């Protein structure tokens, strides 16, 4: 799903989109002419690699997302929202989902059930 930043409404609009086995559902709205906010839940299943045995397994995810989307350099800092600066005027929800999936795949705590039950110690 894609939407132009200039077409994002100032009133909250609900949305739902998915990519592969992951669904992003929530709302978005424009805060200023150059800043949109997205508040959503990302849920589904992602295939990840166990950090201990390196075998793939399926991990269930359910994460809250709070994003600021801007087509300008964002000056400032926000403790509650993550900031995404876009080069074009297009908000691409598939790119956001893909980025979040890649972050999940890189987490240090991706440990399969077999390795959780083993006594194998691993320093990370």
Helix (H, G, I), strand (E, B) or coil at 13: strand
Q: What pLDDT is recorded for position 76?
A: 76
* Spans of all domains in the chain: 2-117
User: 98-103: long-range contacts (C-beta < 8 A, 24 or more apart)?
Assistant: 98/19, 100/22, 100/42, 100/63, 100/65, 101/19, 101/20, 101/22, 101/46
The two three-digit tokens of residue 75, written as one number: 């000056």
The two three-digit tokens of residue 61, written as one number: 């995810």
pLDDT along the chain (124 residues), means of 10: 90 93 95 93 95 92 94 83 90 92 90 82 53
Cβ pair 19, 32 in contact under 8 A: no
Cβ pair 81, 68 in contact under 8 A: yes
Cβ pair 43, 35 in contact under 8 A: no
Q: What pLDDT is recorded for position 50?
A: 93
Distance CA 121, CA 73 (A): 44
Q: What is the pTM of this model?
A: 0.81
């Amino acid at each position: 799903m894609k939407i132009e930043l200039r077409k994002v409404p100032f009133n909250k609009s609900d949305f739902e989109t998915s990519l592969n086995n992951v669904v992003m559902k929530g709302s978005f709205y424009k805060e200023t002419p150059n800043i949109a906010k997205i508040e959503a839940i990302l849920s589904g299943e992602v295939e990840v690699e166990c950090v201990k045995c390196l075998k793939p397994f399926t991990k269930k995810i359910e994460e809250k997302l709070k994003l600021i989307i801007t087509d300008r350099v964002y000056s400032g800092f926000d403790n509650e929202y993550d900031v995404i600066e876009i080069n074009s005027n297009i908000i691409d929800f598939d790119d956001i989902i893909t980025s979040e999936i890649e972050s999940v795949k890189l987490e240090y705590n991706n440990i399969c059930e077999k390795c959780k039950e083993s006594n194998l110690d691993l320093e990370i």
